[in-house]
Structure 1
Amino acid sequence: MLSKSAALEVVAEQMFPIYREQREQLDMVDSWINLTHEGPKIPRNASEEHKWIATLAKTPLLSTVVTTVAQALYATGYKSTVDADDPWRTWQANDLDHRQVAIHRAAIGYGFSFTTVMPGQDSQGPRSVIRGVSPRKMVALYADPAEDDWPMYAARFDAAGQSSFMVRLYDDEVVHFVSVGASGDEPTYIEYREHGAGVTPVVRYSNSIDLEGRTFGEVTPLIPVAKRINKTDYDRMLAQHSNSWNLRVFSGIDASQGPNTEGLTPAQAAEKAQIRLRQSDVVTLKDPNSKAWSLPATPLEGFISSRDSDIDALASTAQIPVTAFSKLSNISADTLVEIRAGLNQKVFERQMSFGKSHAQTLRMAAQLEGNLAAAEDYEARMDWRDTRVRPWGQTVDALGKAAQMLGVPVEELWEELPWLDQSDLSDLKNAASVAAATTARTQIAEAAAAARQDPTVARLVNRADRG
């Protein structure tokens, strides 16, 4: 446990500088996720019209990348060799069926996110409190960020107005509550609360991590491609706004000599006598030396094909189906499966990473609840909903063949149904057990009734009844 003076020193001299640098980097990523980033570069003397077009050129493609990956990641159960029900009740008591989505989205977009696990109580006894934390609010300091499961210290920064932060500094025994100024100055110790975890109870969720402990999100590598697409969209809309119609040109006509131009300057007369054509108008030129022709509109096909090329580059780099960004028609089911193959592999990798972190979170929760067997169950794992694109009938048919041809128990195959979570499976198995018991009793009763109809059995039963 850190002393009060040591806690203040760690917050002011170590954690706050890291937080400020980390927050600056993640704010840039956040701007691309939430479409608040700077638009395409335009000239300093650009008109208000051009500035308005530049704001329209920003498309939330990188947010689509985060959403596409996040929507394929949904944990539906917890498999434990010791006790799956109790950790799963803690999961549901903390509304992690819902909150897991925000944890996943933050890790996918920024590269990492966190959960904190603290002791708590409900009507049934000890029940840990689990909360997700954005990396824009939390800093974790590891002795070895690649190998260590638990940080040495972690600090959560919550803004308290414009001039200060409330900081929760986690160590292996307590949570220190500290206040610091907006620049990390004037640290003030408030109080501490014991948690009894024995380690810093903060779990990191990594989108992708290397052997040096560096974490990588989905957004940062795609920003250069997204900038190209925004620039192409701006150029296309600029051409569409200014040059998307044929320009009519007349020569050999003196517009200043038109009707009702007496007393006007040549410029005023020319403006008054401008030829304004409607769609149904027919132009006749009396002077044989006058001519009329039109300048063609700027073609937009080049902009569109350039954008499509950049979209392909974005999709392949992100391992996201191009169908997430553009419309494709006449695609067979087999082709769609092939298109999503890269995404399936990415999702499987994220399931391994996030699943490990979820299991670590639930083991810590079990430890704080006094369930030591579940806390030491390192074989526990998460079950994930199958979001792969497959026809419903194809799934059922495959499972039916597994039961009939391979002899796999039907109850074991229920877990492969993508629309069932752990609670649904538990209810289904309980109902099946009740139905099986009822069927067994019915069969016994029917067998007994049939036996009584046998003359030999009937005589033995009557003799037994007479004693």
Structure 2
Amino acid sequence: MVMRHNAVVELANDLLIPGHTGERQNLDVIDKWWRWNPEEIILPQYADREHKALREVSETPWLSLVVTTLAQQLVAELVRSSQTDDVSAMWAPWQRNRMPSRQRAIHRAALGYGYAYATVLPGDRGAVIRGKSPRELYAVYADPVVDEYPMYFLEKSGGFTYVVDEEARYTLRHDRQGKLEYVTHEIHGVGVAPAIRYSNQIDLEGRTPGEVEPFIGTAKRINKTDYDRMLVQHFNSWKIRTATNMQRPADDAEAERLKLMLRQSDILTGEEGVEFGTLDETPLDGFIKAHDSDVESLAAVTQTPAHALTGNMINLSADAITEARAMLDLKAGERKLGFGDSHCQVLRLASHIEGRVADSEDFTLVMQWADLGSRSMAQAADALGKMATMLGIPVEMLWDRIPGVTSEDVKVWQKFKRENPSADELLAAGMFAQANGTDG
């Protein structure tokens, strides 16, 4: 049932807008640390322009790198179903909405903020899938842990405020006095509030921490260590020459005139009793070690390979690299389970909108992810060959597991094999003839 006009405005004013405003404040803090505009290091009152410039160059987007390193492991490539072999109709909305490339923005938002959304609404050519940032979409669930869909959600776009429930999409706007007013509504007929949540991690209380907020303290520590090093490097990283028992000039102007710029070949001489010396520079080794220790701490708590943060891969064997990536692979595998379930939910809702009942009720869907490991083609071919020969898996079922091979490539190969059923026999005969030195 479509809500009354005043009920929509009241819902927005009393619940959705206040909830979104409070959540947006927290998300804006996360956004600054993620999008390389972190909280500034506190400087003393006497800090001048040099101190502020040093603070600026000391800030590094460490948490952005943490998110990127994990996001690059997540590329949904194909969906599988145990109910049907032909998933082309179900996969069509994904391709039509350019989700092979747009999925990355959803993954990054969910990793950075802790959660993100995709909306699925009817369009002229079928279901329309759009990724949504939690800074622009606020959803309310009856049970935030169990419920697949929210009761309603608020979305802000183009100067308008939209409220969406299971029946319609209501358009609101603020008048010149800043009062929210009803504009119009459009019945979508989906039957649910069509927003699907992507959670980085979710616990039994509905909390969804991301890959930024829990580690802000560690990133602050790294930036502070780097700022301290920059101070020493800028002000105290050279020797200071001293002269004692030298007669001081009568005034400061004379002292300035007598100040000398020493060259490498100059020799200092003085009267009897004058002693020359130096004050050592402040060593930077301690600051560098502290920086390395802080970065290693960040790598440990975020399960990110240390070499991904430091770029240091000297003398690392293949086994060492594999071991270093093990924790990241486990973390990526956990995210694939959660994000993959949300992707399948998107496809089921798109099937419902397009009237494909069987597909919309297919809960056997599993998302297949691209193999982005560092294995060589030879290693992959050897592993897949053993699966085919030792486990008896049909080779056709392994084609799409070859690194770099897309689902479209597999379709072409399958079509070729159907149209050329004797190709295997001809190939086998040619190999037999070559092995026996005959012309076949």
> Which residue number in structure 2 is paired with residue 116 of structure 1?
119
Bigger drift between 402-411 and 202-211 goes to 402-411
Q: Partner amino acid for 2:32? A: S
Distance 1:228 1:374 in 2: 50
Shift of 1:438: 5.7
- Taking the TM superposition and a 5 Å limit, the aligned residue runs for 1:202-241 are 202-241=195-234
For the residue of structure 1 that corresponds to 2:135, the secondary structure is: coil
Distance 2:326 2:308 in 1: 14
> Which residue number in structure 2 is paired with residue 298 of structure 1?
282
> Which residue number in structure 2 is paired with residue 178 of structure 1?
172
Is 1:42 the counterpart of 2:35 in the alignment?
Answer: no
> Which residue number in structure 2 is paired with residue 460 of structure 1?
none
Shift of 1:37: 2.1
Is 1:373 the counterpart of 2:366 in the alignment?
Answer: no
Cα distance, 1:376–1:179 mapped onto 2, change above 3 Å: same
> Which residue number in structure 2 is paired with residue 243 of structure 1?
236
Distance 1:197 1:189 in 2: 22
- Aligned CA RMSD, in angstroms, stands at 1.9
- Taking the TM superposition and a 5 Å limit, the aligned residue runs for 1:31-430 are 31-80=32-81, 81-82=83-84, 83-122=86-125, 127-158=126-157, 160=159, 166-180=160-174, 186-254=179-247, 256=249, 266-278=251-263, 280-326=264-310, 327-430=312-415
- Taking the TM superposition and a 5 Å limit, the aligned residue runs for 1:429-448 are 429-436=414-421
For the residue of structure 2 that corresponds to 1:436, the secondary structure is: coil
> Which residue number in structure 2 is paired with residue 25 of structure 1?
26
Contact 2:118/2:131, CA 8 A, preserved across alignment:
yes
Distance 2:270 2:44 in 1: 45
For the residue of structure 2 that corresponds to 1:128, the secondary structure is: strand
Shift of 1:392: 2.7
Bigger drift between 280-289 and 434-443 goes to 434-443
CA deviation profile, 1:16-66 (whole Å, cap 9, x unmatched): 001101111000000001111222111122011001100111101000001
Q: Partner amino acid for 2:111? A: I
Distance 1:368 1:224 in 2: 45
Cα distance, 1:234–1:441 mapped onto 2, change above 3 Å: closer
Cα distance, 1:329–1:356 mapped onto 2, change above 3 Å: same
Distance 2:406 2:140 in 1: 35
Distance 1:442 1:105 in 2: 46
TM-score, length of structure 1 as denominator length: 0.87
Contact 1:78/1:380, CA 8 A, preserved across alignment:
yes
Distance 2:176 2:303 in 1: 40
User: Where do 5+ consecutive residues of structure 2 fail to align?
Assistant: 429-440
Q: Partner amino acid for 2:166? A: D
Bigger drift between 238-247 and 429-438 goes to 429-438
Q: Partner amino acid for 1:148? A: D
For the residue of structure 1 that corresponds to 2:157, the secondary structure is: strand
Q: Partner amino acid for 2:212? A: V
Q: Partner amino acid for 1:375? A: S
Contact 1:140/1:151, CA 8 A, preserved across alignment:
yes
Contact 1:355/1:381, CA 8 A, preserved across alignment:
yes
> Which residue number in structure 1 is paired with residue 6 of structure 2?
5
Contact 2:199/2:338, CA 8 A, preserved across alignment:
yes
Q: Partner amino acid for 2:51? A: H
Distance 2:275 2:331 in 1: 64
TM-score, length of structure 2 as denominator length: 0.93
Contact 2:175/2:181, CA 8 A, preserved across alignment:
no
Distance 1:228 1:63 in 2: 16
CA deviation profile, 1:311-339 (whole Å, cap 9, x unmatched): 11101110110111111310011111111
Contact 2:380/2:403, CA 8 A, preserved across alignment:
no
CA deviation profile, 1:280-328 (whole Å, cap 9, x unmatched): 2332324231111111111001001111111111011101101111113
> Which residue number in structure 1 is paired with residue 436 of structure 2?
none
Bigger drift between 426-435 and 213-222 goes to 426-435
Contact 1:255/1:273, CA 8 A, preserved across alignment:
no
For the residue of structure 1 that corresponds to 2:44, the secondary structure is: coil
Cα distance, 1:439–1:230 mapped onto 2, change above 3 Å: closer
Cα distance, 1:69–1:441 mapped onto 2, change above 3 Å: closer
Distance 2:377 2:286 in 1: 41
For the residue of structure 2 that corresponds to 1:113, the secondary structure is: strand
Contact 2:190/2:353, CA 8 A, preserved across alignment:
yes
Contact 2:114/2:210, CA 8 A, preserved across alignment:
yes
Distance 2:147 2:427 in 1: 58
User: Where do 5+ consecutive residues of structure 1 fail to align?
Assistant: 161-165, 257-264, 444-467
CA deviation profile, 1:433-453 (whole Å, cap 9, x unmatched): 22325667999xxxxxxxxxx
Between the two proteins, the alignment pairs up a number of residues equal to 424
Contact 2:71/2:104, CA 8 A, preserved across alignment:
yes
Shift of 1:381: 1.4
Shift of 1:181: 6.4
Contact 2:115/2:210, CA 8 A, preserved across alignment:
yes
Contact 1:40/1:57, CA 8 A, preserved across alignment:
no
> Which residue number in structure 2 is paired with residue 261 of structure 1?
none
CA deviation profile, 1:147-180 (whole Å, cap 9, x unmatched): 10010001101262xxxxx111111011111113
Shift of 1:255: 5.7
